[in-house]
Structure 1
Amino acid sequence: MSLLEKLEGAKIQKNIKEEDVKRLNELKSRLHRKLVEELKNLNVGDEGRELLKAKIEEYTEDFLAKEGEYVTKGERQKIAQEMINEIIGFGPITPLIEDPEVSEIMVNGPKKVYVEKKGKIELTDVAFRDEEHVMNIIERIVAPIGRRIDESMPMVDARLPDGSRVNAIIPPLSLVGPVITIRKFSQKPYTIQDLIKFGTLTQNMAVFLEACVKARLNILVSGGTGSGKTTTLNVLSSFIPENERIITIEDAAELQLQQPHVITLESRPPNIEGKGAITIRDLVRNALRMRPDRIVVGEVRGGEALDMLQAMNTGHDGSLTTGHANSPRDMLSRLETMVLMAGVDLPVRAIREQIASAVDLIIHQSRLKDGTRKIVSITEVQGLEGDVIVLQDIFTFVQTGVDQNGRVQGYFKSSGVLPRFMDRFEAYGIKLPLTIFNPDYSEEVKNDTSNPSTAKLSRRFFDGVLRL
């Protein structure tokens, strides 16, 4: 057989395959329309979910028996599952949403769907039929929470029923078709022990952060996109005593606080006439009138930073928030910029005085090259000297290299400097082991009995308790 004949044969095979795919997609579209028509008057709650699945499978089998004789048994089962995902779930990405190993889902138009697993991004074989199919899924996500997306408002932030964060952007802003980004939340909120197990921080750092939250320090979690800021904020919030009234403020509600007395506030976009928007800043101001013990803002990114600082400086100690930045110093610079975005003409020194007085601690988190997320520094804001805000690292992560598998190597260390707010711990009756501030101490040293003098020294440090 000549090369030309082979190429012609391959072309014919390709055309036949494309024709089969097209015919199968048309069959699925007809089936989907019939199912929607058949089930629209069927009223079932969550308890009837299994009943609904059974009805979809039954109707799909009857439909394919009449109109899809050429469909194999394996394909029928696959089509039935696709219809269940379409009717009950979120279309082709439903299995990804249900996969516990997937932490993020990125739909780049109808034919390219990426996921993040263990900090690494990979392409999947999941695909939508066309752009209209993607738009239908976006509508299904945003409609239940009163959001909308169309050409007049082509961007939207939303959430799934389990609290996972969703961002969608559509043409004409997106040139690759509708784009969906889903930041998944674990069904069971992470605890501080989970973060220790993941290597995000150490036991000593965890003990220190718990003390800081209970002593009502104002804490700001900084970091880049996907560095784990919201997860850390969730864990920090879990340290808040259950007898306190907590108000959370977010663009799309993500925080999963377990305390009984929590009020969740969510901003609102403008309506179709461009009116009625309720911003984070509006909610922060309103929260001050709601007798909060703690104010937790999902993220400050604009003029609400000024109101947040005012709250921290006017008796609302123990406030928590996050912000995007490359380092603790950059976070302070961003805060200055955000305060100026509030439209108040304040001198830079006055803004820095507000920041230095309001923020007690900055926790900076990073996603490293190998995909792991670590708290790379816990930094105290010590005050203002001249025109410069003084920062002091209490804990840092020191990277020593990368192993042959590409995994980042390093260790956490204490600077050995006691924070200036130690008297706050005394006021709240909190006692901390001296060991957490000892730069030479580590779990490895503590457990090393090969050197008697080292073991004796480490036990002395370990048994020491800070009593002020």
Structure 2
Amino acid sequence: AGIARFLRLALQAGRAIVVASNDVDGRLELMAALADTLPTKRIVAVDGGGRFGDHHVSLSAGAGANAAEVVRQALKMRPDRLFVGDCHGPETFLALTALAGSVEGGVVGVTAESPDDAMIRIMRQAGTAVSVGDDQIGGLVHEAADVLVQLLRYADGKLVVTQVIDIDGQRTEVFNGFSATGHVPRWVTNAQSLGFDVDMGVFS
């Protein structure tokens, strides 16, 4: 319950979440559930695997358009929040650039089995779109993304949130499993000062 409230606050406050997992279906289910916490926002979802409800706009890559082109089309729709189900190429750069600038928050998904793996993969995939140095790509990732959620599907089929990490600056755990670490991200304090309803008990 604490993790759910934290992630809902992140999206309401216009933050960007990276959802990493070794299981695409579980990742898309979580992303669709997060989208449903924002009923009044215009959400455009790219490659959502049919999980997003009819009240959201869903676009998919196919024979006529690759993922990067579909993300470009999504951005033309002026979404309040952008969801990209599976970042695995140049669309990663487009999504991160939008989340760092024109789009106020959203969720991007990546296949990874650990937070470190997720960050490496996102940087590598974003780098396939442009010829810039790792430092610039790293700067974009840290400017765009605020929270990383690590999901793992175990051999018995159980899907578990193993970590939730604040990646706004230093990477610091907010939740280890379902246990809060006591760390309060800087953006949470900012959201509270802006009048968002923040349950600080989530962090203790």
Asked if these proteins are the same fold (TM beyond 0.5), I'd say yes
Shift of residue 279, structure 1, vs aligned partner: 0.7
- In structure 1, the residue matched to 2:105 is 318
Q: TM-score, normalised by structure 1?
A: 0.42
Report the equivalent of 2:167. Answer: 381
Q: Specify the code of the residue in structure 2 equivalent to 1:346.
A: V
Stretches of structure 2 that go unaligned for 5 or more consecutive residues are: none
* Among candidates 37, 60, 65, match of residue 266 of structure 1: 60
Deviation at 1:429, TM superposition (A): 2.5
Structure 1: distance between partners of 2:61 and 2:156: 35
CA distance in 1, matches of 2:73, 2:154: 38
Higher relative contact order (CA 8 A, sep 6+): 2
Sequence identity of aligned pairs in percent? Answer: 24
Q: CA deviation at 1:359?
A: 0.4
Tell me the equivalent position of 1:391: 171
In structure 1, C-alpha distance between the alignment counterparts of 2:80 and 2:97, rounded to whole Å = 15
Distance across 2 between alignment mates of 1:315 and 1:423: 23
Letter in 1 for 2:174: I
Is the aligned partner of 1:437 residue 2:173?
no
1:345 to 131, 134, 155: 131
Helix, strand or coil at the partner of 1:356: helix
Provide the rounded CA distance (Å) in 1 between the counterparts of 2:61 and 2:198: 39
RMSD of aligned alpha carbons: 1.8
Distance apart, 1:428 and its partner CA? 5.0
Give 1:382 shift. Answer: 2.3
| Alignment of 1:206 onto 2:4 | yes
Query: Per the alignment, do residues 288 and 226 of structure 1 end up closer, same or farther by CA in structure 2, a change over 3 Å counting?
Result: closer
Query: Could you say what secondary structure the match of 1:322 adopts?
Result: strand
Contact 2:24 2:111 in 1 (8 A): no
Counterpart AA for 2:46: I
Q: Deviations over 1:361-404 (max 9, x none)?
A: 11110113432111111111122xxxxxx31110012xxxxxxx
Moved >3 Å (runs of 4+): none
- Please give the residue correspondences for 1:183-194 in structure 2 after superposition, counting only pairs within 5 Å: none
Given that 2:61 and 2:67 are in contact with CA atoms closer than 8 Å, whether structure 1 keeps it comes out as yes
Shift in Å at residue 427 of structure 1? 5.1
Q: How far apart are the structure 1 equivalents of 2:61 and 2:85?
A: 11
Q: Equivalent residues in 2 for 1:23-102 (5 A)?
A: none
**Letter of the structure 2 residue corresponding to residue 233 of structure 1:** M
Aligned length: 204
CA contact (8 A) 2:35 2:43 kept: no
